[in-house]
Amino acid sequence: MSTADDPRWWRSALIYQIYPRSFADANGDGIGDLAGIRQRLAYLADLGVDAVWFSPWYPSPMADAGYDVSDYRDIDPVFGTLAEAEELIADAHRLDLRVIIDVVPNHCSDAHPWFQAALASPDAPERELFWFHPGRGPDGSQKPTDWVSPFGGDTWTRTTNPDGTPGDWYLHLFAPQQPDFNWDHPRVRAEFEDILRFWLDRGVDGIRIDSAAMLAKDPALPEAPPEGPSPFIDLDAVHEIYRSWRRLADQYPGGRALIGEVWLPDHQRFADYLRPDELHAAFNFDFLGCAWDAAALRACIDTTLAAHAPVDAPATWVLSNHDVTRHVTRYGREDTTFSFAAKREGVPSDLELGTRRARAAALLSLSLPGAAYVYQGEELGLWEVEDIPRELLQDPMHFRSGGVDPGRDGCRVPLPWSGETPPFGFSPDDASAAPWLPQPADWKDRTAQAQAGDDRSMLELYRAAIAIRRAEPALGDGAMSWLPVPDDVLAYRRSPRFVCLVNLSGTPVPLPPHTERLLSSGPLEDDLLPPDTAVWLLTADETPTAPDPA
Ligand code: GLC
């Protein structure tokens, strides 16, 4: 069943993330664009996704790949025009694909007109729209707080007054080119409500809210304690913002969804964002960061579902995105968890093992209750590119770590579509520039063209799994029940007949009695499920659940 006509589509949708710089380049400048996306929309419809989320496409100096927005109501010329975005939205809707855009409310670009006006004079009223503050010490030369950026490094930069003397400092939780808005100011609130209307009026079906838990700050600017509540993450005041956004979204027909990027360790605090009058959904970073380990995954799934149930929000299942090491690479490492703190170069990865596990993880994440996300290239089995020449790296996270952290470029390499050599159809043959990040020569086997029609490929596995998910409404929102199996195996039922089994043990396990084998992530040996393999089965009825003893 497609979710196209369902106003509650966001509860069970399969959402594909497009990173516009790296999806498809129609004009040959080596950077993806909206025209390239429009040419490839049929691929997404064919893949069977319900919705497409676009990472930021607005005018931006690109200090943080577009997450530094200088105009929220237009399209960066490198990507195209506003008219093209409108046509893209219409094209997507014709193909029954919903459109989700990325709104960045915590901060803008330092090139944003408000910030430029604020910098121009200490008396400018625009100063109030940001966090300008005198420094500490007699000459104000010490930053107002020692808050550390999630990007690493300082969160304050000192300004220079028009007369050349050192001035106040401004807050930027991310890079210095990303000044934080002051959400206590009514003009900031009104501006963003207007921006939301601007895009919802253009037919956008959902908003992904960047850094959603960071908008409110403690105005007393206390230091961040090593443990306990942060003065800039997850303050209670943030909820009123989302309540007003929800009222706004609810005024539109057809089910417009608000989806938060909420990285919080506390499940209760996380669920607070999903109360019925706040956001519709939020990304599940616990699942993304979880080890490839049956007990850890079972606990994560249980905790996730338990946290969402009281607020009646759908869980989301995310394996990769534009900020994290691709999961083919993660799952091939000895330590299969993800955390920014542990993201370091030179950690060996067995990509064959990682790919086998990623295939099993696809069947797992696509059959859990709720909505699921696919990050572009995941369906091609792309791995993290770890050997990008230093001089080509662009991510501020890399530079701000003093080069210790490889940054996020390795998961942002342009997609391979076809052909035997780079640019693999990402750019046209007569392109004037190479892809903005170099593609590995080995991706010739991972192009969409090379995989199409090959039943053993990752692409065909995703296509088959998504087709089954669409045909089987019980696979979206709804209940699941665990089946009694050995500890290092996951087995659950999603409907009276549908069962998923994932073998995370080191030895083959027998399949439970079944009437039909719908799909498996790898070849089965007789009726045995090999290690790191998953299978979807139909059973005769609810009773025969336990696998036969081996
Ligand atoms: C979010 C985005 C990330 C960006 C950051 C600052 O975490 O996903 O890419 O760098 O916000 O905007």
Q: H/E/C letters for each residue in 112-139?
A: CHHHHHHHHCCCCHHHHHECEECCECCC
Q: pTM for the whole thing?
A: 0.97
Better pLDDT: 476 or 278: 278
Q: What is the pLDDT of residue 157?
A: 98
Q: How far apart are CA 122 and CA 320, in angstroms?
A: 43
The residue whose CA is least distant from atom 7 of ligand 1 is 211
Q: Is residue 1 predicted with pLDDT exceeding 60?
A: no
Q: What's the average model confidence in pLDDT over 407-429?
A: 97
From 55, 62, 323, 397, the mutation candidate for ligand 1 (largest count of ligand atoms within 8 A of CB) is 323
Q: 76 CA distance to ligand 1 centroid (A)?
A: 18
pLDDT band at 343 (very low <50, low <70, confident <90, very high): low
Taking each helix axis from N to C terminus, what angle separates 351-365 and 458-471, rounded to the nearest 10 degrees?
10
- State whether the beta carbon of 104 lies less than 6 angstroms from ligand 1: yes
From 21, 60, 62, 174, the mutation candidate for ligand 1 (largest count of ligand atoms within 8 A of CB) is 174
Atom of ligand 1 nearest to the CA of 151: 10
Q: How far apart are CA 29 and CA 252, in angstroms?
A: 38
Residue 175 CA to its chain's centroid (Å): 20
Percent of the chain with pLDDT over 90: 91
Q: 120 CA distance to ligand 1 centroid (A)?
A: 27
Residue 79 to residues 21, 23, 29, 257, 412, Cα–Cα distance (Å): 8, 11, 10, 25, 16
From 19, 55, 57, 67, the mutation candidate for ligand 1 (largest count of ligand atoms within 8 A of CB) is 67
Atom of ligand 1 nearest to the CA of 68: 12
Q: What is the DSSP letter of 181?
A: B
Residue 382 to residues 278, 309, 349, 493, 536, Cα–Cα distance (Å): 35, 34, 13, 30, 23
Indicate left, alpha or beta for 80 from its phi (over 0: left) and psi (-120 to 50: alpha).
Answer: left
Average pLDDT, the chain: 95
- State whether the beta carbon of 210 lies less than 6 angstroms from ligand 1: yes
Q: What is the pLDDT of residue 544?
A: 47
Q: What's the average model confidence in pLDDT over 9-18?
A: 98
- State whether the beta carbon of 19 lies less than 6 angstroms from ligand 1: no
Query: How many residues make up the chain in this entry?
Result: 550
Q: What is the pLDDT of residue 406?
A: 87
Spell out the SS3 assignment of 192-257.
HHHHHHHHHHCCCCEEEECCHHHCCCCCCCCCCCCCCCCCCCCCCCHHHHHHHHHHHHHCCCCCCE
- State whether the beta carbon of 325 lies less than 6 angstroms from ligand 1: no
Tokens of 357: 């596990």
The residue whose CA is least distant from atom 3 of ligand 1 is 323
Pairing of strands 528-529, 509-510: antiparallel
Q: 132 CA distance to ligand 1 centroid (A)?
A: 22
The residue whose CA is least distant from atom 9 of ligand 1 is 323
> Per residue in 156-201, pLDDT tens?
999 999 999 999 999 999 999 999 999 999 999 999 999 999 999 9
Q: Is residue 498 predicted with pLDDT exceeding 50?
A: yes
- Residue 62's contacts (CB-CB under 8 Å, 6 or more residues apart) are 68, 76, 78
Pairing of strands 156-160, 371-375: unpaired
Q: What is the pLDDT of residue 542?
A: 61
Nearest to 98 by CA among 56, 64, 51, 157: 51
Q: 176 CA distance to ligand 1 centroid (A)?
A: 14
Q: Is residue 271 predicted with pLDDT exceeding 90?
A: yes
Taking each helix axis from N to C terminus, what angle separates 238-250 and 186-201, rounded to the nearest 10 degrees?
30
Dihedral angle, C-alpha 443, 64, 213, 358, nearest 10 °: 10
pLDDT band at 349 (very low <50, low <70, confident <90, very high): very high
Q: How many CB atoms lie within 10 A of CB 146?
A: 12
For residues 207-231, one letter each, b for 16 or more C-beta atoms within 10 angstroms of the residue's C-beta and e for the rest, the string is: bbbbbbbbbbbeeeeeebeeeeebb
Q: 521 CA distance to ligand 1 centroid (A)?
A: 32
Q: What is the pLDDT of residue 341?
A: 73
Cβ atoms 134, 227 nearer than 8 A = no
Q: How far apart are CA 418 and CA 499, in angstroms?
A: 36
Q: What is the pLDDT of residue 473?
A: 83
- Residue 5's contacts (CB-CB under 8 Å, 6 or more residues apart) are none
Kindly tell me the burial class for residue 283, based on how many C-beta atoms sit within 10 Å of its own C-beta (0-12, 13-18, 19 or more): buried
Return the bridge partners of 481, or none: 493
> Per residue in 197-250, pLDDT tens?
999 999 999 999 999 999 999 999 999 998 889 999 999 999 999 999 999 999
From 70, 104, 112, 210, the mutation candidate for ligand 1 (largest count of ligand atoms within 8 A of CB) is 210
pLDDT band at 396 (very low <50, low <70, confident <90, very high): very high
- Report the run of H or E that residue 54 belongs to, with start and end: strand 51-54
Long-range contacts of 157-160 (CB under 8 A, 24+ apart): 159/119, 159/132
Percent of the chain with pLDDT over 70: 97
Q: What's the average model confidence in pLDDT over 382-406?
A: 92
Residue 344 to residues 274, 386, 407, 410, Cα–Cα distance (Å): 33, 10, 9, 12
Q: What is the pLDDT of residue 103?
A: 98
Q: How far apart are CA 55 and CA 23, in angstroms?
A: 11
Question: Which of 3-12, 91-100, 254-263, 447-456 shows the lowest mean pLDDT across its residues?
Answer: 3-12
Q: How far apart are CA 85 and CA 28, in angstroms?
A: 19
Atom of ligand 1 nearest to the CA of 408: 9
Q: 67 CA distance to ligand 1 centroid (A)?
A: 6
Q: How far apart are CA 396 and CA 141, in angstroms?
A: 25
Spell out the SS3 assignment of 507-540.
CCEECCCCCEEEEECCCCECCEECCCEEEEEECC
Tokens of 69: 């927005």
The residue whose CA is least distant from atom 4 of ligand 1 is 67
Longest dimension (CA), the chain: 82
Residue 200 to residues 79, 259, 278, Cα–Cα distance (Å): 20, 14, 17
Q: How far apart are CA 127 and CA 175, in angstroms?
A: 19
- State whether the beta carbon of 211 lies less than 6 angstroms from ligand 1: yes
Q: What's the average model confidence in pLDDT over 26-50?
A: 98
Q: What is the pLDDT of residue 368?
A: 98
pLDDT band at 549 (very low <50, low <70, confident <90, very high): very low
The residue whose CA is least distant from atom 2 of ligand 1 is 210
- Residue 412's contacts (CB-CB under 8 Å, 6 or more residues apart) are 19, 21, 22, 65, 322, 395, 437
- State whether the beta carbon of 68 lies less than 6 angstroms from ligand 1: no
In single-letter form, the type of residue at position 550 comes to A
Q: How far apart are CA 337 and CA 327, in angstroms?
A: 9
Q: What is the pLDDT of residue 550?
A: 40
Q: What is the pLDDT of residue 543?
A: 53
- State whether the beta carbon of 323 lies less than 6 angstroms from ligand 1: yes
For residues 309-333, one letter each, b for 16 or more C-beta atoms within 10 angstroms of the residue's C-beta and e for the rest, the string is: eeeebbbbbbbbbbbbbbbbbbbbb
Q: Is residue 509 predicted with pLDDT exceeding 80?
A: yes
Q: Report CA Rg, the chain.
A: 24
Q: What is the pLDDT of residue 402?
A: 85
